[in-house]
Amino acid sequence: MEQNQQTCQIQKQNYHIVFTYGTLKKGYYNHKFIKDAVFVTENCYTDALQEEKYTILIDKKNYVPFLYKINSLTQKNPDIIQQIQDNIVPVQGELYIVNDEQLKQLDILEGIPTYYDRFIENFIIKPQNQQELQQIENKFEEFGLKDQIQNLDQSLQNEEIKPIKVKAYYYLSQQNLDERYVVEKNECFFNYTLEQHKKYVPKHLRE
């Protein structure tokens, strides 16, 4: 009996919610590292009501998008705020549910703590319809993560479908800005699209 209990404890999985915004998304070259995780939604955004705002900058040498807090950028690089302040909108990304081993592998892939570090933050899910909302809520309940979400007051959001606030892990850049990075206003991103991916990443690395 004791041996069976120990086996059950070993096999028990913990699950985590992860926000992805770059090459881990569907259609990008690093998606293979997260393809076995549970996809939740692509309609996920950084919380616009929080004091911290985010942007994505591209490492032109290594073809990697990095997520930065705008406040930390402007403290060290005050000229950047002049280039992006008129275009500050929530960063869009995809949300996944991962187990302990998958989270560990993501940490290795992201080069913690040299290139990125992992933090937890509030994100906003904006379902496109009632069916998607129900599917999202069902997934969180299935994996024991219902306590990580909060239904927002629909009357305050001016949305037909109620948004959801969720606590999720995300990977924040630990790199200092230098000449490798794109910092022009029109190339600070809030949604790293496939078009931008194709522009910056050589074809042989995308396949």
Q: Which residues are marked as active site? A: 110
Cα–Cα dist 56/52, whole Å: 14
C-beta separation of 53 from 71 below 8 A = yes
- The H or E element spanning position 140 is helix 130-142
Residue in the block written with tokens 């950084």: 46
Phi, psi of 102, deg, nearest 5? -65, -40
Cα–Cα dist 202/36, whole Å: 25
Give Dmax over CA atoms of the chain in angstroms.
Answer: 66
Cα–Cα dist 43/207, whole Å: 25
- Sign of torsion over alpha carbons 150, 138, 141, 28: negative
Q: Which among 131, 145, 156, 147 is positioned nearest to 43, based on CA atoms?
A: 131
Q: What angle do CA 126, 103, 129 make, to 5 degrees?
A: 15
